[in-house]
Structure 1
Amino acid sequence: MPLLVLALSLATLLQGKDTPAAPPVKVSVYYESLCGDSARFFTQQLYPVWKDLKDIIELDVNSYGKSTNTPDGDGYKFQCQHGPRECKGNMMLTCAKKHVSNQDKFMAFSNCVMKQLRGAEAGDQCAREVGVDFCPIKECLKSIEGQRLQHEVGVKQAALHPTLYYVPWILINDGFSRSQLSRAQANLREVVCQAYTGVPPAQCHLQDL
C-alpha cells in the first residue's frame, strides 16, 4: 500500500475514534404471556436479534396486551384475552422486569417462559435454568406490588398512539406503522439495522451469510 494511502487510512481511523456513537434503536414491544403470535415473535425474532444487536438496541418490553384492569382495594383486578392464567403470566413477567436487574438474565428468563407458553407455571423452572432468583419475583406476583406494577404497564400502554389493536405491538424509536409491524415480525434484524444511524455492526449482515 502506498505511504500516502496508508497515512490517509490511519487518519480516517483516528478521526472515527472520537466520533460519538450513534444512539441506539429503541425497540418497544407490548405482548401477552399466552399469545401464540407473541411467543413466536419473542423467541424467533426479538430474543435472538437482541442477543446479537443489544449494543445498538434500547429494549422496552411490556407484558400486557389486550388486558383491562379495575381498582380492587389497594390493588387491581385484571382481565386478559386468554384468561386468568395469562393475567398471572403477564404479571410474573412484569415482576421479573422489576426484580431481575441483569438484562441478559431477564431476557433469557422471559424467552424461556415464552417458549414454554405456560405463563407463570414455567417461572420456577425457567428461573433455575437461567440462574435467576425466583423468590422476589414470586413474592411480587403474590402481592399488591405486582398488581400496581401491572397497572402501570396498562397506563403506559393506554397512552400509545395509535391504540394497540394487535399483539405483539411493535414500535421502533417510538414510531408505529402497519408496514413496520409486519416487517418487524418477519425480520426484526433488518428493521433495527436499517433504523440504526451509525455504522451497522457485523451482526447486521448475519442474514446475508
Structure 2
Amino acid sequence: MSPYLKLLFYLSGISFAVSFEIDHSNPDAVEYDSNSKVEKTEKVDLRVYYCCYCGGCVDFHIKELVPTYKKIGSYIDLKNYPYGLTSRWKHHGKIYFDCAHGPEECYGDKLHACAIDILKNVSQSEFYNSCMMNATWGGKGSTDKDAINCGKLRKIDSKPIIECANSERSDALMEYYGIETDKVTDPKNKSMPLILLNGKEVTDNLMKTICQTLAKPPPECKSFF
C-alpha cells in the first residue's frame, strides 16, 4: 500500500472514531429514522380566568385545578389570567384598577401576575399562587405574608415577586390580563372563574372533562370511562 493510501485510511479511521464518540456522548441521543413518527403527548388548552378573592375561584384552584394538574399535568397546556371582574382606566398616562373585592384583591392579583411572570414555570406558579389563596396564615390570603410563607414552603424567593407587585411592572401585567379577559367575557354577564378547555367553557368536573376530551387518555382517567 502506498504511503498516500495509508495516510488516507488512517485519517478516515480517526474521523469514524470521532463521529462514533460524538454520537454516543449524549445520553439523550436517539437514532433518527426519517420514516418513523415520534409520538408526542397530547395536550389540551386550558385557560383559567379568575380573581384571588372570589370564593369560587379559590375553591376551583385548590380543590380541582391543583389535584388535576398533579395527576395529568403533562397533558395540560395551562394559562392563568388573574384579573377577574376588575375594571380599569387611565388618567394622565397612569393606569388604575377597581377590583370587585377592593384594593386588597387588586394587590393579590398583582402578586399572582408577578409570580407567573417571574417564575416562568406553569406548575411552580400555579402551586405557589394556590398556596397564597389558601389563606393558611389568616385573612383572605394573597398578601405579602402569604407570599413569603408560601415561598418558604415551595422554596421560592418571594422578594422579587413582592417587589414586582409594588412596581409599575405589575400594572402592565394587570393591563395585559385585563385585555385578554375582555376578549372572552361578556361585560354584561361576567362571572368567575371562567374555565375554557380548547375554547369551550367547562361546566363539569375538570378532571373528568379533560379525560373525556383526550383522544388517548392516560391510566389516571380510567374511573371516568
Q: Same fold (TM over 0.5)?
A: yes
1:119 aligned to 2:136?
A: no
How far did 1:174 drift? Answer: 1.7
Instruction: Please identify which structure carries the higher helix content.
Output: 1
Change (3 A) 1:45 1:77: same
**Which of these residues, 190, 195, 198, is aligned with residue 208 of structure 2?**
190
**Which of these residues, 159, 173, 194, is aligned with residue 169 of structure 1?**
194
Tell me what 2:218 maps to.
Answer: 201
Instruction: Give the Cα–Cα distance (whole angstroms) in 1 for the partners of residues 60 and 107 of structure 2.
Output: 20
Instruction: Give the Cα–Cα distance (whole angstroms) in 1 for the partners of residues 164 and 129 of structure 2.
Output: 16
1:130 aligned to 2:154?
A: yes
Instruction: Give the Cα–Cα distance (whole angstroms) in 1 for the partners of residues 69 and 223 of structure 2.
Output: 13
1:64 aligned to 2:88?
A: no
Largest Rg, 1 or 2: 2
Tell me what 1:34 maps to.
Answer: 53
- The CA deviation string for residues 67-100 of structure 1, in whole angstroms up to 9 with x for no partner, is 0111245542111111111000001100100001
Q: TM-score, normalised by structure 2?
A: 0.75
- Percent identity at matched positions? 26
Give the structure, 1 or 2, with the largest relative contact order (CA under 8 Å, sep 6 or more). 1
Instruction: Give the Cα–Cα distance (whole angstroms) in 2 for the partners of residues 196 and 165 of structure 1.
Output: 29
Q: Which amino acid aligns with 1:42?
A: H
1:155 aligned to 2:155?
A: no
Q: TM-score, normalised by structure 1?
A: 0.81
Structure 2 unaligned regions, length at least 5: 1-35
Tell me what 2:109 maps to.
Answer: 90
1:146 aligned to 2:170?
A: yes
Q: Which amino acid aligns with 2:213?
A: A
Change (3 A) 1:126 1:74: farther
Change (3 A) 1:73 1:126: farther
Instruction: Give the Cα–Cα distance (whole angstroms) in 1 for the partners of residues 141 and 120 of structure 2.
Output: 23
